[in-house]
Every structure is written in C-alpha cells, then in structure tokens.
Amino acid sequence: MALGKDYATQECSIARALEVIGERWTLLVIRDALYGVRRYNDFLTHLGIPRAVLAARLQMLTAEGILEKRRYQESPPRDEYVITERGIALWPTVRSLGRWGREHFSDTQLRRFEHVDCGTELGAYGECPTCGGVVPVEDVVMVPGTGLDPNPTDPVSRAFLKSKRLLEPIETVPV
Amino acid sequence: MALGKDYATQECSIARALEVIGERWTLLVIRDALYGVRRYNDFLTHLGIPRAVLAARLQMLTAEGILEKRRYQESPPRDEYVITERGIALWPTVRSLGRWGREHFSDTQLRRFEHVDCGTELGAYGECPTCGGVVPVEDVVMVPGTGLDPNPTDPVSRAFLKSKRLLEPIETVPV
DNA sequence: ACGTGTTGGTTCAGTGACTGAACCGACGAT
DNA sequence: ATCGTCGGTTCAGTCACTGAACCAACACGT
C-alpha cells in the first residue's frame, strides 16, 4: 500500500478517510456512482481510466462497503456496482469539493444541482437555501450547463445531457 | 504531471479540484494549515511526510493560491506558509471528509469541533445546529478527544492537546 | 458450425511519483 | 572554530499508474 494509503502515523479521521478514497481516480468513480453510473464499461469510457486501475478500484470500493456488486442478469452473467449508504454519505464531500473547484478554478458552470421540490440550486454542501435543510441525495437533480460539449462520444456523457436525479441509473442510449 | 493531476478528459469541476488537491499528502497539508500549522518543520514532524514531497506540495499550494509564503523574520530569513481565503474555502470539504471517516471507519472520536459562541458540536459540513448557520472557520474550536496519545513526541501534536481555534497559529512549546 | 461483437476482466513492460536517507547552505550561539 | 537549527536539494530504490495486448464467456447472425 502506498499512494493514498498508509498515513499510519496520523491520529486523524481525515487521514483514515483518505486511506480509503484518497487514491487517484477513486473519488471520480464515487462521483460517477452518485450520478448513476453502475457498469464497468460505463465507468471505463466515461472516465478514461485504465482498465486495470478501474478493476482495482471497484474491487477495493466493494471491499470497503462503498459500492455493492450485484448480479443484474444471468446469461451472460453481468454485475453492476451500486453505491451503498456509506458511499452516499460522501455526497456532501463531493458536492463541496465540486463547488470549490468551480468557484476557484472554473470559468463556466458545467452542471447545476437543484432541489427537486423547489428548483433552487443547492448550497455549498448540498443544502437547500429555500427549504432550509439538507436535501436527500435522491431529491437532487443534476441539470446540464452551458459549458458542456453538446455532442460527446461516450454514452454516459450523452445521458448526462438530460436532467436527471442523482442515484437514478443512467439510460445508455445506443447511437 | 501524473498522479492526482491531468484528469484532462473530465468536464467536471470535481476533477479540476482534484488536479489541485488530489495528490498524496496535499489535503493533509491543508488540514494542518487550517489547524494553524505554518512552518516547514512543523508540517514535517507532524505529518511524517518526506522532505522532498513537502517542499513540492508547499510550492504547488503556494502557486495555486491556497497557501501564502510570508517572511516572518529576517536574520536568519524564515518564511511561514499561511492559508489563504481560497484554502479556507476548503474547510467544508475537509470537515465533511473527517466526519465521514469518523462515522464509518473510526471507533473513537479523536477531536471535536465546536462553535465558539455556544459550544455546540458542528454538523456534517461545518454548520452549527443550534445557531443554524455556517460557522466562520475562525469561530470553530478544536477540542481534543479521548482517543489521543496523551504524550506525543512532536510539538504540533502536543500543541493540539489543548483546545484552540482554527487558523490560530500554534504555539510550539519546547520540551 | 463458425465468425463477430459485447462485456468484464487479467497481464505486462515502461514511466513516473513517492520514500528515506544523505547532503548542503545560511545563520546563531558558545 | 564548532555545533545546532531551519529549510531545503539530491539521489537511488520502490511502487503505483499507464496503455496496449490478450483472454474468457456468451449472444447473435448466417
């Protein structure tokens, strides 16, 4: 264990968390899982991640209880990786990191996240300023922004061109 | 640029953020800076990070505007690294990650974070449940918990055995 | 029966980041 | 003159990531 693991001397739950999700690509896999990506091939094409790394991350995240491997069809046997409660609990972290990245390093707004009940954009860590509380992840709508490539090559990005709720599985539409 | 950088194909502010703070050790340096660590040697002994990596991270974080290098004495010339507004804006991310790590992977509570006005423990992303709003980082008190080593070797951990406000520079007490 | 395509991997050589130890320069103190 | 401290740099070795190739199970069309 080296990169992203083994901060052994740290008496700190942040270090403990980083041992689990601090490796390269890991948080992007979790982000995609929150967005509704479930299948190996969808992660692969959407992230542009090396296959070996993706296989390692999926296995590790499954072992840590953040994803759950689930058979969704027999013949041919196919599994999907569904995010668990423990993974969903990372949404405030993912949301606040995305907000920070947009506010400090991005010129255009690529996506917006709204409360499905009222359409208000979420605050810095996933709360609704209008309704005044934390919005359950399944009540968050992801709305595409103006800066997105209107004609992406991979099916996942194409699915993300429509508004959709978080966690809701994506529909991979063939070309 | 490789590990933690160059997620070039991602149209995503999370990926953009991870290019900046996604490398190994980087978020722990920011955590320590939020806790009031400012000097090279304090980062070094508290984190147990290789010197070369620390130097690289401090330089990069300074270049990205997250830390600011500041001369605090001449003769001998000494600089300290102070966290900027852009770095302070990462507090919700750091807080929520720490909460997640404690709730899912830690048995003991190592530290508590309270609102200085009312003593209430902060919520999942740094808000005060009692006062009902986001607490400015400088109004957060870090309180040592029971699981900490009562007699640590490095001066920074020793300084953390007392309650202190975030951002407030640590007092490095000689042994 | 046979070739083709899809999905979900494994293997492997090459690159590059991290690690730990050694070394170094500026200065203060004795 | 020597020692100690602070803030680095250098360097060999290790280990994770990268990208391409390969592979196995199965469905489908002819």
Provide the pLDDT for residue A1.
38
Q: Which of A5-9, A31-35, A150-154 has the lowest mean pLDDT?
A: A5-9
Helix axes of B13-21 and A91-105: crossing angle, nearest 10 degrees: 90
Chain B positions touching A5 (Cβ under 8 A) are none
How much is the pLDDT for B166? Answer: 98
Lowest-pLDDT choice from B38-42, B52-56, B123-127: B123-127
For the stretch A93-118, pLDDT in tens is 999 999 999 999 987 889 999 999 99
Kindly determine whether residue A17 and residue B101, on different chains, have CB atoms separated by under 8 Å: yes
Dist CA B101 CA B87 (whole Å)? 21
Is residue A156 a contact partner of residue A32, using CB atoms and an 8 Å limit? yes
Q: pLDDT category, B8, cuts 50, 70, 90?
A: low
Contacts (Cβ under 8 Å, ≥6 apart) of A102: A109, A110, B13, B16
| Chain B interface disruption, residue of A7, A11, A46, A121, most B CBs within 10 A | A11
Report the topology of domain B13-86. Arc Repressor Mutant, subunit A (1.10.10)
What pLDDT is recorded for position A75? 78
Q: Which residues of chain A does B89 touch, with a Cβ-Cβ cutoff of 8 Å?
A: 100, 103-104
Q: Which nucleotide is nearest to A81 (CA to C1')?
A: C8
Phi, psi of B102 (to 5 degrees): -70, -45
Which residues sit opposite B141 in a β-bridge? B114, B165
Q: Average the pLDDT over B67-93 and give the result.
A: 94
Statement: the CB of A3 is under 7 Å from strand D: yes
Q: Is B106 on the interface with A (CB under 8 A)?
A: yes
The answer to whether the CB of B31 falls within 8 A of the CB of B93 is no
Nucleotide nearest to B174 (CA to C1'): D5
Q: What is the CA radius of gyration of chain A?
A: 17
Average pLDDT in chain A: 91
Find and list the nucleotides of strand C having atoms within 7 Å of a protein beta carbon: 6-12, 16-22, 26-28
Predicted pLDDT at A73: 86
pLDDT tens-digit profile of A41-98?
999 999 999 999 999 999 999 999 999 999 988 878 899 999 999 999 999 999 999 9
Q: How far is the CA of A44 from the C1' of C9 (A)?
A: 12
B94 contacts A104? CB cut-off 8 A: no
Domain ranges of chain B: 13-86, 90-165
B173: pLDDT confidence band, cut at 50, 70 and 90?
Answer: low
Give me the pLDDT at residue A2, please: 40
pLDDT for residue A49: 96
> Scanning the structure block, which residue is given the tokens 């209430």?
B120
B72/chain A closest Cα distance in angstroms: 27
Tens-place pLDDT, residues B119-148: 999 998 888 999 988 899 999 999 999 888
Residue A57, SS3 per DSSP: helix
Higher pLDDT, B74 or A144: A144
The confidence score (pLDDT) of residue B9 equals 66
Rounded to whole angstroms, how far apart are CA atoms B95 and A164? 28
| Residue B173 tokens, joined | 């007490």
Q: What is the pLDDT of residue B5?
A: 58
- For chain B, give the mean pLDDT: 91
